[in-house]
Structure 1
């Protein structure tokens, strides 16, 4: 039997749930599609949010001959078969190629579409769950307009489920009743994926007995179908980078609640390495010299987490994440090393000062004989003035003390030693 998601696929743009930033009445995308002049487009977004549905609706109203290919299975010969229809009677209104999962097409396959797309003999609508700017060949990307489809909200899913239940009941002539608690659980457990939500609904409806001419979907039934809240996660995909980015930015922003939330998402996905790596990076980059003692503390927590494994690893990591999030912050060392590397990459280096070189003799051409290194421990307070940077950048300052108590105390100490106070 055809899946419910396919049977109940919206037939007009007004029936599509969500994506109002594209499909709203006054949006440029909507007006362009309704004009009948379909440009080359790439739809980018997670699965189950309406990319294929919108493409199908556009194709149905375009008057063009539709060809559908999937990047996971299509070959170069499949592309040639599509192009062979150019100029035929059946394609007198033009050819619309819907290419799903274009990221799986290699460079040569994508290049094979260039000429026809540029000439307008084929209109391309491609979709991808990955960032097209990383996965789509630049020459093809420059000939298309990218539209981002966003994850559906719980409200969007709830609306779609109500509509699907009503249509399903009408088809089978046995109304489908879904109490609010069951509907809410189905909507939330889908993780923004309408296809998943409809699949779970179909499973529950199939299992529901007909009583008094109706089928009632209970909370217990949907909890058995959708055991746990769905979460989008692909260690090689955009979702991974979005979560780890939010994880570190929440710690940097001193929000322990958000940091724990994103830690939880990483651990629920089983991605212990990313949780540990970003935690250590954040301790060094964002707390840093404001409280340098945190670095070995975080390292110890990570060691414990890796030693005990999941699910117990959540405990030392939660301790460390809250500690990093609530610790004073400083990125002075981070900014300092970045500035130093920028100078090096730009060629601003120069010879190492003679007194710092690892040699104790001078060539015949040396203008100043002798190393002349001043050993700081031979001087009061273990310091004496001496040039350390190369001549070309001798006055460069990379490190600027942060305004936290720890770094300011060190800064005041050295100003006193150097007679700057």
Structure 2
């Protein structure tokens, strides 16, 4: 069976690992653990193709333990039972190192089946996952493990891996030279989204599908690189961690009044074809982050959202961009969300008391006999349609929930309000 190029260039020691300097460079924590030979339970978390499996293999080879590998996508409780049956045999005299790939696909019962063996040290677990372990992995396993986050690999580091792959191919082909332009290297790197394996696969396809010229040279230019790579895949799963990360970055960029970042994250959400979540989030932002600083924003955003829903993609991107830029460049106020959150907190933590009698419903016979509405003052009967009277329950009558934001619109509201109450 033909070995994929990505496997041929797989590092065999930590010095060859591409990226992840924060973990495996000299004196970093994971490097120190591996060099000590005292391997503990670990969870490797990060996107595909960034070296999680590679580092796990290097650890396994340096360990004296019996190595087992399982992929949680296809493994079952029986597979775990088959491993545990060998724990007290000569085959596992130094213990077992279990490399469990995609652990997030194990259900709670499957994960729990490993606990007793992890606790007594008969199994040392190295698990990898592309999802946030704090969301998907059983807490008892998390508490017994060290979590290491693997980052997407930079374009510069990916180019190093690509050039190493070209050298390996030339050594294998012997009489054929492979010439890859810098523009092609840049494209393979940029289109991989930090995934070394994806970049190598694109390069391998380009090499295998390009015939040598009369000088026995395989020329890989940018055009060939583009033909050999699929559309760039954004790390986005509607049920996964990246979903919430992009939405969070989208709202925080608008809240921070950065229109360029806001449009960038909007483009990511559009790439994922996630129209519903974009529309919902824009409406939330209009109320939560712009609020009373520009009250008309939510009306305009609602019109843009309705237009986007009616148009569908690709045209929906235009009103969505309009709404995003409007919100990003609008004045900001969170006074509305702060007010409702403070009021909600009081309902949970205080005895807020009964509604004042004069505010209670009086539209029925006998209401006046109960004192309902008897002393109510109808504001429109007074100058400027305002009269001072108590509206909050006695227990919280002096409390304030709304604090005007420091923006032009709320300054006007505040001035009007103070003038009215002091008149």
Q: TM-score range by the shorter chain?
A: over 0.9
CA contact (8 A) 1:166 1:175 kept: no
Counterpart of 1:11 in structure 2 is 12
Q: Distance in 1 between matches of 2:86 and 2:7?
A: 27
Counterpart of 1:387 in structure 2 is 390
2:341 is aligned with 1:338: yes
Q: Distance in 2 between matches of 1:370 and 1:217?
A: 85
After superposition, where does 1:212-227 map in structure 2 within 5 Å?
Answer: 212-227=215-230
CA contact (8 A) 2:178 2:218 kept: yes
Q: Distance in 2 between matches of 1:89 and 1:172?
A: 45
Q: Distance in 2 between matches of 1:395 and 1:152?
A: 56
* 3-state SS of 1:236 partner: coil
After TM superposition, the runs of 4+ consecutive aligned structure 1 residues lying more than 6 A away are none
After superposition, where does 1:319-330 map in structure 2 within 5 Å?
Answer: 319-330=322-333
* Alpha-carbon shift at residue 172 of structure 1 (Å): 2.5
1:292-332 Cα deviation digits (max 9, x unpaired):
01111000001111111111111111111111111111110
Counterpart of 1:246 in structure 2 is 249
* 3-state SS of 1:155 partner: helix
Counterpart of 2:42 in structure 1 is 41
Q: Distance in 2 between matches of 1:110 and 1:154?
A: 36
Counterpart of 1:150 in structure 2 is 151
CA contact (8 A) 2:189 2:199 kept: yes
* Alpha-carbon shift at residue 176 of structure 1 (Å): 2.5
Q: Distance in 2 between matches of 1:183 and 1:171?
A: 20
CA contact (8 A) 1:374 1:384 kept: yes
* Alpha-carbon shift at residue 230 of structure 1 (Å): 3.1
Aligned length: 418
2:176 is aligned with 1:178: no
1:38-92 Cα deviation digits (max 9, x unpaired):
0000011111111111101110111211111111100000001111121222222
Q: Distance in 2 between matches of 1:148 and 1:111?
A: 23
TM-score (norm 1): 0.96
* 3-state SS of 1:400 partner: coil
Residues 370 and 172 from structure 1, CA distance in 2 versus in 1: closer, same or farther, beyond 3 angstroms? closer
1:254-278 Cα deviation digits (max 9, x unpaired):
1111111111111122111122111
2:272 is aligned with 1:269: yes
Counterpart of 1:111 in structure 2 is 112
Counterpart of 1:134 in structure 2 is 135
After superposition, where does 1:331-370 map in structure 2 within 5 Å?
Answer: 331-359=334-362, 361=366
CA contact (8 A) 2:96 2:123 kept: yes
Counterpart of 1:76 in structure 2 is 77
CA contact (8 A) 2:361 2:372 kept: no
In structure 1, list runs of 5 or more residues that go unmatched: none
* 3-state SS of 1:210 partner: coil
Counterpart of 2:379 in structure 1 is 376
* 3-state SS of 2:235 partner: coil
Counterpart of 2:414 in structure 1 is 411
Q: Distance in 2 between matches of 1:50 and 1:348?
A: 56
More deviation, 104-113/175-184: 175-184
2:198 is aligned with 1:196: yes
* Alpha-carbon shift at residue 363 of structure 1 (Å): 9.8
In structure 2, list runs of 5 or more residues that go unmatched: none
* Alpha-carbon shift at residue 371 of structure 1 (Å): 3.0
* 3-state SS of 2:262 partner: helix
CA contact (8 A) 2:184 2:220 kept: yes
* Alpha-carbon shift at residue 232 of structure 1 (Å): 1.5
Counterpart of 1:291 in structure 2 is 294
1:13-39 Cα deviation digits (max 9, x unpaired):
111100000011010110111110000
RMSD: 1.6
Q: Distance in 2 between matches of 1:3 and 1:357?
A: 77
Counterpart of 1:102 in structure 2 is 103
Residues 118 and 227 from structure 1, CA distance in 2 versus in 1: closer, same or farther, beyond 3 angstroms? closer
Q: Distance in 2 between matches of 1:88 and 1:369?
A: 83
* 3-state SS of 2:206 partner: helix
* Alpha-carbon shift at residue 227 of structure 1 (Å): 4.4
CA contact (8 A) 1:96 1:125 kept: yes
Q: Distance in 1 between matches of 2:190 and 2:351?
A: 56
* Alpha-carbon shift at residue 168 of structure 1 (Å): 2.0
Counterpart of 1:60 in structure 2 is 61
Q: Distance in 2 between matches of 1:239 and 1:159?
A: 27
Q: Distance in 2 between matches of 1:164 and 1:346?
A: 63
